[in-house]
A and B are shown apart, each in its own frame.
Chain A
């Protein structure tokens, strides 16, 4: 048995290394366990020369190891040096497979049978997990790799990619690039490619048709040898030349390993993190979790936590986190003066959705939030403003304007702004401060994290949003009390794009409210489905059957992946019976819709082709995913002369890079949807941004602030392919120098060759680049302003599919 150490740290990434360095500096007996033969494997595996960014800038680094933006080699060399200088004890090739014991005496066992004993354990193992390996003879040969950092590292090689998920296909396409002259084969165990995105599969098939790679289905590796690979194919064994094997077989998430120690997580879903105390201690005393596994993906966070956790374990209770000053800045403008922890506690006590939040989580939410004082009568936001943040009332109360000069109070402890958060649409009502008040504004990202991590908060937000949505939809003096039964019976249902929610002719009297996403209403006229209406989030449907008892008179289906709330017809009718005013108002709204349907039907009889075109155009628009757009660029190809002035204007308004590709994209009836950001209601790009720099701006634009680390998540998450990873090109000579003397590449995005010539050997960092709707430019989006013929327009789906279009043609 070995000596009992004070501290064992698993994982030598930025978090673990920083913790070990601090422990060494404090003179604590420790061991840093690393499963490979070098420190910080994740960064080690980055491609050569890759620039590593140090965001967030505002956060100070607190660590015994150096870290600043720089090339991978420099950072790794610094860390090796710093670890040696601090006197860190590292055990390499120590893949910890088991942990037993309890606080004060844990025993850690590695894969090769070594054992270590420690009083405390710090888990800093990240979230990447271990890649699944091949299960055949020769699985441990060194030419099997598990990721492709830079396809250009491979030239004129026989490469076999095993695994046909998105990662495998993307790697295969990368190395199959014609100029690299590789011989690429991709293997798939089954016949079809069910796990990959349709786009990737079709790109792969195109590449196969063009002779750039071989796609082999129902084929598996049987034996790996240097230079050769034996395959198990439907026709028997086959031996092919193979210099490199890229194995993309998924990975084992570290969660199972963590849970095997008895550590609890915040919830069952993938986004859940281990439950942690303010000192990063898990539900198992003596085991601490820091870094990406704790939910902090950025290097600086990880290093600071490593430092902090070592201090905490060493008994330093007075240490305040490095973000203390950022929190202090958030609270600085509030009228009372309190310490940071006092404010955190104040909000936690007074705001109902924060009750179940742990103090550590509270810090994190507040960093993404803002607390502000509002004087009585001050407007917080106005109806129609874009915004998706959530507000909570810490002190005083707010008033919501339900009708001109009719205001309803929202009490202290409650929330508002939840409609914008959930539906992704513009604010539904104006809110003013009822008295001098303090409101906390939580960003969309932080609010979504809160809902995922704290089930109680999620339930409260959902219920309040449904009640308010119903109050807004059904006029006529409805109160929350009237709705209690309706809300009690309500059920949230998810529908993928294209799925029918209500079919024409069906019986049924449930009524639906669209919570997020959007729906299209179609009616079968003359054997053809005719588009009647686009229903954005916040609208309702199904009311006609409730009121008349007749079967459904139109089909409603999801335009994009959507959530609807089903209210039972029975409770709804009861509510209407109790409130005749509400019934009258609802009937009036229904009559309006019915008359619009009748109008389209009558048009269909007389101007059949016009209605068909309108209907087909609407279907096309929906198929292109514009149902979730808030502001999209469309091009009328009856007017577009192909001058690309839109792209040039875009590039010249934005550091020389165009954010749109005019020519690419689908068209229907000369209406073209170019590759350009649609500023989705629920932006896919925002879903997984480690530095959290994608936000919705004051004009509804989804934009990226500084601080992108170039990870490419947003680019991969965008279903419309509108985000590019590019480096800013060097500055061009002015327009007049070009116009008069021919200096520089002229207007628009400079050609890659010009940029390369200017830069020489310098390789600037590539970051995500996307449309920001010309944020901050008072004239508005440059693409539209720069179109000489009026072909380019920016619209939301509601504007574009309004009935006026059917009536007045293309006005």
Chain B
């Protein structure tokens, strides 16, 4: 009833509620706003580097190098904040899409800012360690952009409106039917079926998850073995049919898990490396100020 009775409601308050209904991805957000900004920034850095004469040569310790270094360090801290922004709810207006867009493009420009900051003076020291970690974070991020652009449609096409829970439920349903039908098999035939029943769809480790290849799949094995025994009994026929269906359901689930893994795996590189980068960056900054 509250709405009904709040008669003289504040028009302005209502209009300040922004309804995001524009249909555009994070890469194209606001007409490539952040692509333009960070592209401009990159060009500015490159041009100023060429135009400004630092003697004896460009290096991180010149006033120009300090400027780029400060910019880069602040940018790194801000880019890290995406992880907090993503998880923190607040009522004011913000859009994670806009943050992602800015994160992606400014993160890419960081490669130029950081490298140009070094004046291309690399070596075997903590400073170059920070630079290398930064570049690794950027490269892993680029992988992220690529999979975010390419994989979602495969994920969607593969699951065909099924949820992950439903895929697991379908597997369990085939297992139940297999369990019932396999009662009538000879012990030698039942053994591979039992092995297939006790198979954990999540097993196989990281390599199998990412490649989608499960060379020791018990269901495939059972299918191959019983396939040779076709025609021996009606139960074998039924079991082979069910194993075929289970194999298909398992295939779908594994493709689903693979795509999800590919979409997530890079974060396990990107995020820890970011923390390593921040540590190395701190060491770099402290050493510059205290031991230069």
Contact = CB atoms under 8 A, between A and B. Distances in A.
Partners in one complex: yes
Interface of A: 209-211, 368, 370, 372, 389, 441, 443, 636-642, 645, 648-649, 652-653, 661, 663-667, 670, 672, 695-699, 705, 735, 739, 746-747, 777-782, 784-791, 793-795, 799, 810-811
Nearest to B170: A210
Contact of B176 (A211, A443, A639): A211
Contacts of B94: 779, 785
Given A443-B1, A699-B14, A790-B25, 7 more contacts: A210-B176, A441-B4, A648-B87, A663-B159, A665-B161, A705-B2, A790-B97
B18 A780 contact: yes
Contacts of A209: 173
A791 B155 CA distance: 14
Interface stretch (B37-45, B145-153, B185-193, B284-292): B145-153
B97 A663 contact: no
Interface in B163-197: 163-164, 173, 176-177, 180
Interface stretch (B5-13, B49-57, B67-75, B232-240): B5-13
B96 A787 contact: yes
10 contacts: A209-B173, A637-B152, A663-B159, A663-B163, A705-B2, A779-B94, A784-B95, A788-B96, A791-B152, A794-B19
B4 A443 contact: yes
A698 B6 contact: yes
Given A663-B163, A735-B87, A810-B23, A779 B148 contact: no
Contacts of A639: 25-26, 148, 152
A692 to B, nearest CB: 8
Q: Count chain B CB atoms within 10 A of each CB in A638, A779, A811 and give the residue with the most.
A: A779
Given A785-B95, A793-B22, A210 B173 contact: yes
A778 B2 contact: no
A670 B156 contact: yes
Interface of B: 1-7, 9, 13-14, 16-26, 29, 84, 86-97, 99-100, 148, 151-153, 155-157, 159-161, 163-164, 173, 176-177, 180, 260, 263
Contact of B2 (A670, A695, A786, A799): A695
Contact of A779 (B21, B22, B93, B173): B93
A440 B56 CA distance: 84
B97 A788 contact: yes
Contact of B9 (A389, A698, A782): A698
A790 B24 contact: yes
Contacts of B152: 637-642, 789, 791
A737 B3 CA distance: 37
Given A210-B173, A735-B87, A667 B5 contact: no
Contact of B86 (A637, A664, A696, A788): A788
A641 B153 contact: no
Contact of B151 (A368, A641, A810): A641
A790 B26 contact: yes
A780 B19 contact: yes
A370 B7 CA distance: 10
A370 B88 contact: no
Nearest to A640: B152
Contacts of A645: 86, 96
B104 to A, nearest CB: 10
What are the 3 closest A-B residue pairs judged by CB atoms, nearest first?
Answer: A637-B156, A663-B163, A779-B93
Contacts of A699: 14, 17
Nearest to A701: B3
Contacts of A649: 89
A642 B155 contact: yes
Contacts of A638: 25, 152-153, 156
Nearest to A372: B7
Given A695-B1, A788-B86, A641 B23 contact: no
Contacts of B29: 790
Contacts of A778: 13, 16-17, 91-93
Given A641-B152, A793-B21, A747 B87 contact: yes
A787 B97 contact: yes
Nearest to A443: B4
Contacts of A637: 152-153, 155-156
B23 A636 contact: yes
Q: Count chain B CB atoms within 10 A of each CB in A368, A735, A778, A794 and give the residue with the most.
A: A778
A24 to B, nearest CB: 37
Given A642-B155, A789-B148, A793-B20, A782 B89 contact: yes
B3 A698 contact: yes
A162 B89 CA distance: 49
B87 A739 contact: yes
Given A637-B152, A670-B156, A780-B18, A697 B23 contact: no
B5 A370 contact: yes
A636 B5 CA distance: 38
A779 B86 contact: no
A739 B275 CA distance: 13
Nearest to B180: A211
Nearest to A782: B89
Contacts of A443: 1, 4
Nearest to B165: A663
A696 B177 CA distance: 48
Given A443-B4, A665-B161, A789 B26 contact: yes
A799 B21 contact: yes
B79 to A, nearest CB: 14
Contacts of A782: 89
Contacts of A370: 4-5, 7
Nearest to A747: B87
B4 A389 contact: yes
A599 B21 CA distance: 25
Contact of B96 (A652, A653, A785): A785
A122 to B, nearest CB: 31
B86 A786 contact: yes
Nearest to B24: A790
A791 B180 CA distance: 43
Nearest to A795: B21
Contacts of B20: 780-781, 784-785, 793-794
A670 B17 CA distance: 28
Contact of B164 (A641, A648, A663, A790): A663
A446 to B, nearest CB: 10
A172 B85 CA distance: 46
A811 B18 contact: no
A639 B113 CA distance: 29
Contact of B23 (A640, A696, A780, A793): A793
Given A672-B156, A695-B4, A699-B14, A779 B87 contact: no
A591 B88 CA distance: 52
Nearest to B144: A641
B14 A698 contact: yes
A721 to B, nearest CB: 13
B263 A642 contact: yes
Nearest to B163: A663
B21 A794 contact: yes
Contacts of B16: 778
